[in-house]
Amino acid sequence: MATSTIKEFLVTYLMPEKCYYELFLNFHFHVPCLKFVLNKTAGFWIILDTFLAQLPQLIKMLWGGSAEGLSLSAFFLQLYAFSCPVVYTMANNFPLFAWADRLFMLAQTVAIVFLILHYRGDTVRGVLLLFALCGVMLLLRSYAAAAVISVIQASSLAAFIASKVLQATTNYHNGHTGQLSTLSVLLSFAGCLGVAFVSLQENGNSPVSLSHILSACLSCVLLAQILCYKAGAVSTTKKTV
């Protein structure tokens, strides 16, 4: 019964039945099947990253009532990075279902930036930021040249990478990761790995693929910082006790 359930799940979501027999019954590491499964897995990671990566960070901030340890500059860059594809799709009149996931991620990031400012006693600035962001995005959508929109879209990945560098630097200087969410970083790491894998399949060792690999490595650095600083804090607490 358990084997049947596992087979049904794998065949339904991850692989054709032929690949199931090759990999799990014949124990034959069939390369096309392995690539198919990896592509499927990468797709799931990317979807999880797109819809959920920012949500644990938002919940942790609301639950703790603090934005300690979070780099405002890093999240401003993330805000820019997530705004770029939304502006691009709006300017090119893509249907909403084609970019609703990006809009959802942008909304979560806007909420995070607002909370950082709010918990630092700068609520008015946070509200003004929301209005300014909406205004700029609408102006770009309506009046910016296509070449400008394309450059903005192309710069989003660089901004996302820079945001991770800034957050990692902040963690290092603070000696802790504060309210940085482990789950958010883990989802981002998985998503970046998925995008890097797909990009390598489609583009080979192109600058874009290497940029996605760099982004995944930086997410790994952030995850390592969280684990190391937490382990250090636990060790210090035990010594004190």
What's the token pair of residue 53? 């990566």
At 15, is the secondary structure helix, strand, or coil? coil
End-to-end CA distance of the chain: 50
Residue 149 near residue 137 (C-beta atoms within 8 A): no
> Which distant-in-sequence residues (6+ apart) come within 8 Å of 83 by Cβ?
106, 133, 137
Instruction: State the amino acid at position 221 in one-letter form.
Output: V
Q: For the whole model, what pTM was predicted?
A: 0.84
The pLDDT assigned to 1 comes to 47
pLDDT along the chain (241 residues), means of 10: 64 70 68 73 75 89 92 92 88 82 88 92 86 85 83 89 95 91 90 84 79 90 91 60 48
- Number of helices and strands (H, E) in the chain? 11, 0
